A and B are shown apart, each in its own frame.
Chain A
């Protein structure tokens, strides 16, 4: 009866979460204070608390930067949480939504609704549908081969390639200038977000995180082999379905905000795992790390070529790819899955 119960994290996880929270907070402060106009951290706090006397600082912080930083925080957290969850479900460290093609599929579906293919659903709903489709495909194709190992991942690669091509097909149907305008979004950018999609994401993330806190014992036991998990009293099928559903929900909603920002879902859980107690699935820590990572990446994108902007997806690809390559090419790669 107590399978799904809120469990308190252990001490090391608590400390790790605290550290990551502080880091994410620092990233937010830096991101709020840096830009074409520099604003001192003290002034940032005054603006946030509404005690500033400077109307311009209040304007820049509260109306220009805050919503963007929030969108980055939320989408980074959602992507990382979804990634960590999916890694655990597939028992495969590489099984993150971006790598197995879910991001691309969600993008393709969302673009379909944007370029007007006659489908009148909102981009968020379409992104969710796309994420769900790709997940079903990836896990379905893995079938008897299982989700461990690289075969599953390459199947996802194929799905991602098809979805990417479909996006291109749709963009080639619209006027060349519109297609160029859609380009940043298809590589992942926080510039094209709508307030509605950010609100939906906030809701989805809150639901997902809370549900996972109650599921954490079950999720932890998924790391073990099936018989062990069953012995621990876990309803495997139900837990898997729930976990997968939550992961799809958060990926889809995040993609509808920021597009397919790659590798956040891989790097953030990596960092979280190295900080937390081995053997536990670091869900909250992943979310915090993802949130911080996304905010920093977006800050770099905004400031490096200022006043022009680099889409955040390009930054995460440039930062994240070498790390993924290092994981893959290490001669002494331990059990990767």
Chain B
């Protein structure tokens, strides 16, 4: 899905600015190979050659089944998760003007995870409900973050905000652990949901998140231009006829929808929303619209690549995806902090 979106993006952006063409193509190319890899490698006995045969229309029915019914949904879920988290991270960072504002680090994902844990405890179990609840939790977390940035001094202090977010995450994780202790019956299920992983998630969950993803992406289209204007300063944005308050509100909703959906699909994945915009900005520069376009292929590629690694690194068992994203993402965090100058947004 994202591949076709980014493909359509190309002609328009070629006119707007040439430099975007190369990174976008490169990212698309990379994404393509990651998708192939995610279809080819798996825990089962179907070999890469058989998969390739299946993809070109030959191969056994068993291989066909494994590829289309088991690996393809997982690939789809990985794509969606990466897309959602990448975009959410880019938006949150642009709005708070904080390169470290990442939904996972700031506690938005933990809010979604906690909400799901509470829901499981009281007996909710359908995919649709879980998605809605995760989004409600993400909305609460996101609103908290936005409110915190309005606290005087905090908005200008990127690192302090992150520390506050990390503390909030820690608190929510501890509360989730409490819930698991209080009800052993729910613990297995909660543990499954709050472990960052896209293994074993069904297409039903994916379908449940689709509507909100479409709405969120449509809103992104609406909000991208005013957000770019806000990068010039709130006064300039007001001068251009935009309403900063309204933009902030919209972005809160978008981030909540995206992060909630991603958490319902993959559990709380930290650092994805940090890494993806970080790479995108390296090519796109400060323009949020270009960054968003680049996030479309990069987000899915990062999550899928991490997922492939998580399958291979501990085979025949699987490692949680969240562990791999943390191992990739934490060094990026260190790099950002280590950079002599905080990249301004």
Q: How far is the CB of A171 from chain B (nearest CB, A)?
A: 9
CB–CB A161/B178 < 8 A = no
Most buried by B among A141, A150, A158, A168: A158
- Whether a CB of chain A sits under 8 angstroms from the CB of B219 is no
User: A153, A158, A314, A329: which contacts B174 (Cβ < 8 A)?
Assistant: A314
- Chain A residues contacting B160 (CB-CB under 8 Å) are 150, 328, 336
Cβ contacts A133-164/B at 8 Å (1 or 0 each):
00000000100110001110111011101101
Tally of contacts, chain A with chain B, CB under 8 A: 122
CB–CB A325/B168 < 8 A = yes
Q: Which residue of B has the minimal Cβ distance to A165?
A: B326
- Chain B residues contacting A325 (CB-CB under 8 Å) are 164, 167-168, 171
- Whether a CB of chain B sits under 8 angstroms from the CB of A194 is no
CB–CB B163/A94 < 8 A = yes
Residues of A in contact, count (CB < 8 Å): 42
- Chain A residues contacting B340 (CB-CB under 8 Å) are 144-145
Q: Beyond A150-B157, A172-B323, is A328–B167 a contact (Cβ under 8 Å)? A: yes
Q: Beyond A314-B178, A328-B163, is A162–B331 a contact (Cβ under 8 Å)? A: yes
Stretch at the interface among A22-30, A285-293, A316-324: A316-324
- Whether a CB of chain A sits under 8 angstroms from the CB of B154 is yes
- Whether a CB of chain A sits under 8 angstroms from the CB of B177 is yes
Bound-state CA distance A173–B337 (Å) is: 32
Q: How far is the CB of B169 from chain A (nearest CB, A)?
A: 9
- Whether a CB of chain A sits under 8 angstroms from the CB of B162 is yes
- Chain A residues contacting B162 (CB-CB under 8 Å) are 150, 154, 157
Bound-state CA distance A317–B172 (Å) is: 9
Bound-state CA distance A154–B322 (Å) is: 19
User: B163, B174, B181, B317: which contacts A150 (Cβ < 8 A)?
Assistant: B163
CB–CB B326/A172 < 8 A = no
Bound-state CA distance A159–B337 (Å) is: 12
CB–CB A187/B323 < 8 A = no
- Chain A residues contacting B319 (CB-CB under 8 Å) are 168-169, 172
Q: How far is the CB of A139 from chain B (nearest CB, A)?
A: 13
- Chain B residues contacting A155 (CB-CB under 8 Å) are 334, 337-338
Give the size range of B's interface with the partner.
35 or more
Cβ contacts B273-308/A at 8 Å (1 or 0 each):
000000000000000000000000000000000000
CB–CB A151/B323 < 8 A = no
Most buried by B among A141, A262, A321, A322: A321
Q: How far is the CB of B331 from chain A (nearest CB, A)?
A: 7
CB–CB A151/B337 < 8 A = yes
Q: Which residue of A has the minimal Cβ distance to B324?
A: A165
Bound-state CA distance A222–B242 (Å) is: 51
- Chain A residues contacting B153 (CB-CB under 8 Å) are 331, 333
Bound-state CA distance A311–B180 (Å) is: 12
Residues 296 to 337 of chain A near chain B (Cβ within 8 Å): 305, 308, 310-311, 313-314, 317-318, 321-322, 324-325, 328-329, 331, 333, 336
User: B159, B177, B323, B337: which contacts A168 (Cβ < 8 A)?
Assistant: B323
CB–CB B320/A149 < 8 A = no
- Whether a CB of chain A sits under 8 angstroms from the CB of B15 is no
Q: Which residue of B has the minimal Cβ distance to A176?
A: B317
Q: Beyond A154-B159, A155-B338, A314-B178, is A172–B164 a contact (Cβ under 8 Å)? A: no
- Whether a CB of chain A sits under 8 angstroms from the CB of B221 is no
Most buried by A among B100, B175, B337: B337
Q: How far is the CB of A16 from chain B (nearest CB, A)?
A: 27
Q: Beyond A172-B314, A325-B164, is A305–B323 a contact (Cβ under 8 Å)? A: no
What does DSSP make chain A's interface, helix, strand, loop or mixed?
A: helix
- Chain A residues contacting B320 (CB-CB under 8 Å) are 168, 172
CB–CB A321/B167 < 8 A = yes
CB–CB B174/A317 < 8 A = yes
- Whether a CB of chain A sits under 8 angstroms from the CB of B72 is no
CB–CB A314/B177 < 8 A = yes
Bound-state CA distance A321–B326 (Å) is: 22
Residues 138 to 189 of chain B near chain A (Cβ within 8 Å): 148, 151-154, 157, 159-160, 162-164, 166-168, 170-171, 173-175, 177-178, 181-182
Residues 111 to 145 of chain B near chain A (Cβ within 8 Å): none
User: A157, A159, A305: which contacts B163 (Cβ < 8 A)?
Assistant: A157
Cβ contacts B28-63/A at 8 Å (1 or 0 each):
000000000000000000000000000000000000
Residues 229 to 268 of chain A near chain B (Cβ within 8 Å): 262
CB–CB B337/A310 < 8 A = no
Q: Beyond A318-B178, A321-B171, is A151–B159 a contact (Cβ under 8 Å)? A: yes
CB–CB A161/B270 < 8 A = yes
CB–CB B151/A329 < 8 A = yes
- Chain B residues contacting A157 (CB-CB under 8 Å) are 105, 162-163, 166, 333
- Chain A residues contacting B157 (CB-CB under 8 Å) are 150
Q: Which residue of B has the minimal Cβ distance to A310?
A: B181
CB–CB A317/B270 < 8 A = no
Q: How far is the CB of A162 from chain B (nearest CB, A)?
A: 4
User: A165, A311, A313, A324: which contacts B167 (Cβ < 8 A)?
Assistant: A324
Q: Beyond A314-B178, A318-B174, is A161–B330 a contact (Cβ under 8 Å)? A: yes
CB–CB B314/A169 < 8 A = yes
CB–CB B170/A262 < 8 A = yes
Q: Beyond A155-B337, A317-B174, A318-B174, is A331–B152 a contact (Cβ under 8 Å)? A: yes
Bound-state CA distance A159–B326 (Å) is: 10
Q: How far is the CB of B72 from chain A (nearest CB, A)?
A: 25
Q: Which residue of B has the minimal Cβ distance to A321?
A: B171
Q: Beyond A94-B163, A153-B163, A329-B151, is A318–B171 a contact (Cβ under 8 Å)? A: yes
Q: Beyond A150-B159, A318-B171, is A329–B154 a contact (Cβ under 8 Å)? A: yes
CB–CB B163/A321 < 8 A = no
Q: How far is the CB of B216 from chain A (nearest CB, A)?
A: 27
Bound-state CA distance A308–B157 (Å) is: 42
Report the 4 A-B pairs with minimum CB-CB distance, sorted nearest first.
A150-B159, A321-B171, A317-B174, A165-B326
Task: Taking A161-B326, A187-B177 as given, write out 17 further A-B residue pairs in contact, using a Cβ cutoff of 8 Å, ordered by the A residue number.
Answer: A99-B163, A144-B340, A151-B159, A153-B159, A153-B163, A157-B166, A165-B322, A165-B327, A172-B314, A305-B182, A317-B170, A318-B174, A321-B170, A321-B174, A328-B160, A328-B163, A331-B153
Cβ contacts A to B, 5 pairs, < 8 Å? A158-B334, A310-B178, A310-B181, A313-B174, A318-B178
